[in-house]
Structure 1
Amino acid sequence: MGSVSGSTAGELLAREVCQVLREVTFERRTMTKLSQASWDEIYAGHFVVSVEGWRISIYNNCDTLDYCEECVSPDGGRWSFGAGDRFGTDPIALLSTWEHQTLERLLKAL
């Protein structure tokens, strides 16, 4: 990807957040849970994880990986669903089917 970031002071792009999640699915980055409850215990609600300093809130919709609510990068850049890219494109929607299934499995294992 190179060192060029699409964000300046503040806003992240959905594709930047997607790349972090994609790296988790390929085991290039480590994801840890910040939520007190497990994925199964939340069932329907926000599940917060950390990916090497990135704080990502993911919506668990009845035990199914639904969408990314918000992400804050280590340098303070922010992406949120409400203020996201046009038409509400969220980082999880940019994942392939395999990446989506793998990420969901990894979330359930935390």
Structure 2
Amino acid sequence: MNNPMPINAREVYQLLKDAAIGSRDWRLIKREPQSDSSQQLATVEIDSWQLKLLVDAGHLAHCQHCTAADGRHASLESWQRRGTDPLEFLSVWERTQLERLLTPDSTL
């Protein structure tokens, strides 16, 4: 059986970067409060990919899970084994743009 290539952190970073600069479609699906009242789990769709991003006090904390358009999956645990969360590659400007997109009434 042929195992698909795993989603690596750089692949997810590129997707997030493209969304930040507006070259990919971004849709906020839902925000779920977490047990810590300052945290929310935001589910977003970028093109046909689905990501779950942990937001802490309005700031991106990490990418919890990602499902690629082709059905591949990756999670925080798989990226931590390799030492990098996809959000760590983002510039300050890119992170700020994504945080604005996570605001329900955002207009960029």
TM-score normalised according to structure 2 size: 0.81
RMSD: 2.2
Q: Distance in 1 between matches of 2:89 and 2:51?
A: 15
**Which of these residues, 75, 81, 101, is aligned with residue 76 of structure 2?**
81
2:49 maps to: 54
Displacement over 4 Å in runs of 4+ = none
**Structure with more strand by fraction:** 2
Tell me how many residue pairs correspond in the alignment: 99
* Matched ranges for 1:3-82 at <5 A: 9-35=4-30, 43-82=38-77
Amino-acid identity (%):
28
* Cα deviations by residue, 1:73-101 (Å, 9 ceiling, x for unpaired): 010112211111512x1111110111111
TM-score normalised according to structure 1 size: 0.80
- How far 1:45 moved relative to its partner? 2.3
Unaligned runs of at least 5 residues, structure 2:
none
State the SS of the aligned residue for 2:40: strand
* Cα deviations by residue, 1:49-81 (Å, 9 ceiling, x for unpaired): 000110000001122111111111010112211
Unaligned runs of at least 5 residues, structure 1:
1-7
